[in-house]
Amino acid sequence: MSLRVLRNNRRLLVFPLLSGAALALISGGVAVPAFLRDRAEPSPSTFDVISIGVGYLLLGFALTLSSAAMICAVDGVLQGEPARIGVNYRRALRHWRRLLAWSLLSTTVLLIIRQLERIPVVGWIMDELFSAGWAVATYLALPAMMIDGLGVAEGTRRSARMLRETFSRQVYGSLWIALPMVLSVVIGFVAFMLGVESNSVGPAVAGGLLAALLLICALLVGATVSGIFRTVFYRDASTAA
């Protein structure tokens, strides 16, 4: 169903594009000045720490906003409305306090989980397990906030409650979405290696361009289908509950 929705509403591809643009702009705006100051002054200053923290929060909010706008758009499409970009961003921005709170919560939790890497031997395993657990438990939190107007706490609780009934379908859907992306990466890698093995500049460049194009297309389509699936999944799960 997710692919059918995308095929009939290709404008939904704009949301991941805008999300990627925000990622590049905010990351560049924070990383480049920090890198230049680091070369002039090796020890990080208070300003560096604050700017990185603010940049991280802005990045989290921008990505959350794009995800929320896409959820609003898909929800409207499923009700027979056209997928309008500006309208759905404005609809999501009406809940900016809720989105900011969710960005703060998820960013803080993930930063705390990242500290587990410092534990010797098993740290990285615990980090991966807790990160995956948080992602699965809160998978439906944002749709609950956007579609049913729940707050951050109630949306998170509803997502966790739905986990028991929806876990297998959630895993199956995620694997189904990831499979074409993996195949695209493999095909692109093979094309690039064949170009390199030809010992000629032309085929090597062509293989590299093909690999990059396949990767970009796979990421774009995969992110869009994932957002559609997440919204459809929540609507079905909340109806069945």
Q: Where are the domains of the chain?
A: 1-94, 165-241
Predicted local distance difference test score (pLDDT) of residue 118: 76
Question: Tokens 């579609």 sit at which residue?
Answer: 147
Collapsing DSSP states into helix, strand and coil, what is residue 140?
coil
On whether the CB atoms of residues 216 and 144 are closer than 8 A, the answer is no
Residue 150 DSSP code: -
Query: Does the pLDDT value for residue 121 go beyond 80?
Result: no
Over residues 108-112, mean pLDDT: 83
Q: What is the pLDDT of residue 33?
A: 61
pLDDT of residue 99 exceeding 90: yes
How far CA 92 is from CA of 43, 61, 70, 219, in Å, comes to 40, 12, 9, 23
Q: What's the pLDDT at 175? A: 77
Which pair of tokens denotes residue 108? 């803080």
How much is the mean pLDDT over the chain? 82
9: its two tokens: 């509403």
Task: Report the pLDDT averaged over residues 230-235.
Answer: 90
Give me 51's structure tokens.
């700017």
Nearest to 143 by CA among 226, 206, 233: 233
- Using one digit for the tens of pLDDT, what is the confidence trace for 150-166? 999 999 999 888 877 77
CB-neighbour burial class of residue 186 (10 A; exposed 0-12, middle 13-18, buried 19+): exposed
Does the model's pTM come out above 0.75?
Answer: yes
Torsion angles phi and psi, residue 45, rounded to 5: -90, 170
Write the CA distances from 68 to 41, 48, 58, 61, 93, integer angstroms. Answer: 39, 30, 15, 10, 9
How far is Cα 114 from Cα 143, in angstroms, rounded to an integer?
25
Rounded to whole angstroms, how far apart are CA atoms 163 and 44?
42
What's the whole-number mean pLDDT along residues 217-226?
87
Structure tokens at 89: 């961003």
